[in-house]
Structure 1
Amino acid sequence: MSSPAPPLPALVAARFAAETVAAGTPGWWPAAELSHGRLAAAVAAERAARGAPSDAVAGSLLVLGYSRLLGWPVLGGAVQEGRWPDPALTGVSVRAERDRVIGVGFPDAAPRGGDVGRALAALLDEHLDPLVAAVHALTRAPLRVLWSNVAAALAGALLALSWTLPERAGMAAPTRSLLDAEPRLRGLVTVAVSAQGGEDWMRVVRRGCCLAFRCAPPHGHWCGTCPVLDEAERERRFQEAAARYRVLEAWA
């Protein structure tokens, strides 16, 4: 999984871009403060922005969004280059707008090296594990919900990378093995393969709901991979997503 991948369409590549932020940069604060001191304000801001009915729902969505912001650049670097920005909680910076987390910045330091397994372990052990614990303690969002969000966010990064390959499902089996080897993520998503346009594509289905449906319109919705949807609807949404990706590739 550390072999180079083809270039991503620009709109997708932006989600993998790692922003470098030096310590003390105005407008940014240490990520460690999210778990110690700023978390209540961040949850309240997420609740207000989403129209969430409880801190538990807001905390769930905060973890989902944050895991994407942090995890995609790290896993993308590991897969494409074998080098990835340091995700240690003590070095990462956070940018917020009215207390709502909107960006993650990585330290201006030499990247770490290693395969995607090492990158995943660093993400969990050195950053997301303490964040999940803090959100659970503050909001009482179920741990299974929070870890399902982490699993879905990180599997989603690997899915996006897989879709760039000549064999669109090329990373399905390695991703499945990677998640199965990590007790905190095991069994929280299903990594599958579905046909679209005459090709097999990697597909990810959640096994736990993120609770977004409980938010007020227009934020309340069922995600395309949600286990609450029946398989026919999930398949329909997958087909639409893969078709949209083909369009992005054509524009690249």
Structure 2
Amino acid sequence: MFGTDRLPGLATGLTVTDEAGWVPATDLVDGTRLPELLDATRQRWGATAHAGAALAWKSYTYWLALPVVLGWASARRVPLLYPADVLVHFEEQRPLLSFGLRRSTGVAVLPSDPLALAGPPEVRVVADEAELLRTLRASLLDAHLTPLLDAIHAEVRIGARTLLGSVASGVAHAVLRAADALPGGSAETIGTLLETLDVADLIDLVPGPSGELTVQRKTCCLAFTLPQPKICAGCCIRTP
């Protein structure tokens, strides 16, 4: 999709063969090791507690969702990212977060997909497009991101709308950056995914300088509060 199999936030080939140093996402979702991730974020950027949580969540949700977003958009194949099947690496010498999947991770497909007939046992065949989207939501949002958001709220006071805005922005950016390799229209693809995840009201798609679609956020990731402030493209606090 991106012309490479080396992306900073994803394990090569997505699957992890040696789990040494990797943490199952269940340890973050249940709060066990979440403080370590939040502390790493604060130390790296000198962020306040709530800004560090917002930036950790922004990175986490972007890289976690990327295989799901592009899998659905390009081939209607959805990796099922239940926390027990997702592995996370966070160390100083790496990007803040890297994700990998266990080899046992399931993938949902349509009946017309060749994997439905000859795929490995991890393949889950769903009835139709609507069920595929419901399955996407159930594994990514309901089983993973929502409980992680609750765990963050147990550590830091920060609004759910602020955090979910980064989910909406990350999904939209992922689609737009791969638009040339995806079938169908970007706006329609983004709209379908955001409606599925109930975050469609948190961004707008607006024309950029050359008429290309760009993302305008309605919430802020709080990067502007860092000791070295950053105003992201499409930030809701940007002024003319």
Instruction: Calculate the TM-score normalised by the size of structure 2.
Output: 0.78
SS state at 1:105 partner: strand
Partner of 1:153: 170
Q: Output aligned runs, 1:197-212, within 5 Å.
A: 200-212=211-223
Partner of 1:31: 25
Query: Structure 1 CA distance, aligned partners of 2:183 and 2:63?
Result: 26
Residue 86 (structure 1) aligned to one of 61, 80, 90: 80
Distance 1:86 1:21, change over 3 A: farther
Partner of 2:203: 189
Partner of 1:139: 156
Distance 1:137 1:80, change over 3 A: same
Report the Cα offset of residue 66 of structure 1: 0.4
Partner of 1:178: 193
Partner of 1:41: 36
Query: Structure 2 CA distance, aligned partners of 1:147 and 1:20?
Result: 27
Query: Structure 2 CA distance, aligned partners of 1:110 and 1:191?
Result: 33
Q: Which amino acid aligns with 1:46?
A: T
Report the Cα offset of residue 182 of structure 1: 3.6
Partner of 2:125: none
Percent of matched pairs sharing the same residue: 28
Once structures 1 and 2 are overlaid, which stretch shifts more, 205-214 or 95-104? 95-104
Distance 1:42 1:166, change over 3 A: closer
- Unmatched 5+ stretches in structure 1: 1-6, 233-252
Partner of 1:241: none
Residue 107 (structure 1) aligned to one of 93, 102, 109: 102
Q: Which amino acid aligns with 2:235?
A: C
Q: Is residue 71 from structure 1 mapped to residue 65 from structure 2 by the alignment?
A: yes
Q: Which amino acid aligns with 1:89?
A: P
Q: Which amino acid aligns with 2:21?
A: G
SS state at 2:212 partner: strand
SS state at 1:104 partner: strand
Partner of 1:58: 52
Query: Structure 2 CA distance, aligned partners of 1:85 and 1:180?
Result: 19
Instruction: Calculate the TM-score normalised by the size of structure 1.
Output: 0.74
SS state at 2:191 partner: helix
SS state at 2:146 partner: helix
Partner of 1:122: 139
Partner of 1:223: 232
Distance 1:31 1:155, change over 3 A: same
Distance 1:165 1:112, change over 3 A: closer
CA contact (8 A) 1:20 1:108 kept: yes
Query: Structure 2 CA distance, aligned partners of 1:121 and 1:154?
Result: 16
Report the Cα offset of residue 129 of structure 1: 1.0
